[in-house]
Amino acid sequence: MLVYVVLLALQALRDASTLGACQDAPGVQALLALNILRPGLLFESPLEFMLKAGSNVLHFFPRVVQHLTFRPEFQSGWLPPIAHVPGIVEVLNLAVAFAVCAFIAITNVLAGVGMLSALRRRCVSVPLLLAALLAAGDLLNVVLYNLQNFYAAIQYMPISMVILALLLQSSENDWIAALLRKYESRAASGVSVLSVASLVALMLLVTPNVLRNAESASASIPGQPLSIPVFGAKAHLDSIRELGRQCHIPEQSASFVVVDHMTYFAYKKDLNPVHVHYVSEDVYGADLKGRLLPFLKGFYSPGLITRCEWVPASMRSRQVRNSFDYCCVDFSD
């Protein structure tokens, strides 16, 4: 298992290095530079690398917890905006932020301290080794990522839970297990209170708008640009398929159809779908500016079908629109 994990890590680093070294895609390089601290910088300029790594560690917790609390706006509109955040919810935000930071920090630090103590005594168990490796992986992620997106906590929180479970199983450092068990009941009570309070706030502040947006009759949802209307989806998908026929986009026999979050489900039987954001000159495909259509035709893509606001500017003169605000472009013209 450890060999498998190491091989996956090496493959991920290799893929990242390949993307970062692509001289024909300066836009991709700039995007990667914005998101991650390039490992090669350690050998080119050790001091600069250490300063940036230290900055990432220093700002890690604020970057993570800002996405776990109630705010007027949420990154990428993953939740609808909140018109007003009450003062009592601001207090709840502080409590949640403190609890999350404390839990991640304590579990990871204890894993490292326990491992050092076990190494000094030359007695390392499998649970402790796994806990230390997970903590090391967490630290590496913190060091290398300049940004922490709204889904980052989905990684750090479960890993901290696994580390906690492993530490409780470790017999080499009984003092760690004893320390954790001493406070576990009080911690569990506090977490339960925060969880209930957060759920109540979520139901009152966010859920009504989520339900309303889920029934949207338009492809675009105000305040949630990356979300799709899940209620009444059949009407949306039927309109997408009908629109696609106008642009001669096959539903089962094509490859590299350019789609978005919703239109993908109408063409999921096609092979190798391409998300419009990753090729559009207006988003992540800036390196394809002026040659997007020839690029897609080179893969024999039959066309594009997305919400109209996401159709690349170079193709809007050829788009066909329907009443749900989906548009298609026929590449065979």
Q: Provide the percentage of residues in the chain whose pLDDT is more than 90.
A: 59
Which residues, other chains included, contact 97 with Cβ-Cβ below 8 Å and sequence gap of 6+?
61, 65, 68, 69
**246-272: pLDDT as tens digits:** 999 999 888 999 999 999 999 999 999
Which residues, other chains included, contact 296 with Cβ-Cβ below 8 Å and sequence gap of 6+?
256, 258, 274, 279, 304, 331
Note the pLDDT of residue 17. Answer: 67
pTM: 0.82
Three-class SS state of 240: helix
Give the mean pLDDT of the chain.
89
Q: Where along the chain do its domains lie? A: 36-209, 233-330
With 70 as the cut, is the pLDDT of residue 37 above it?
A: yes
Average pLDDT over residues 21-48: 82
In this structure, the number of other CB atoms found within 10 A of the CB of residue 114 comes to: 26
With 80 as the cut, is the pLDDT of residue 4 above it?
A: no
With 90 as the cut, is the pLDDT of residue 242 above it?
A: yes
Q: Which long-range contacts (CB under 8 A, 24 or more apart) does 186-194 make?
A: 190/99, 191/99, 194/92, 194/95, 194/96, 194/99
With 80 as the cut, is the pLDDT of residue 6 above it?
A: no
Confidence band of 16 (pLDDT split at 50, 70, 90): low
In this structure, the number of other CB atoms found within 10 A of the CB of residue 173 comes to: 22
Q: Which residue has the higher pLDDT, 205 or 30?
A: 205
Note the pLDDT of residue 282. Answer: 82
Q: Is the dihedral of CA 284, 287, 293, 295 positive or negative?
A: negative
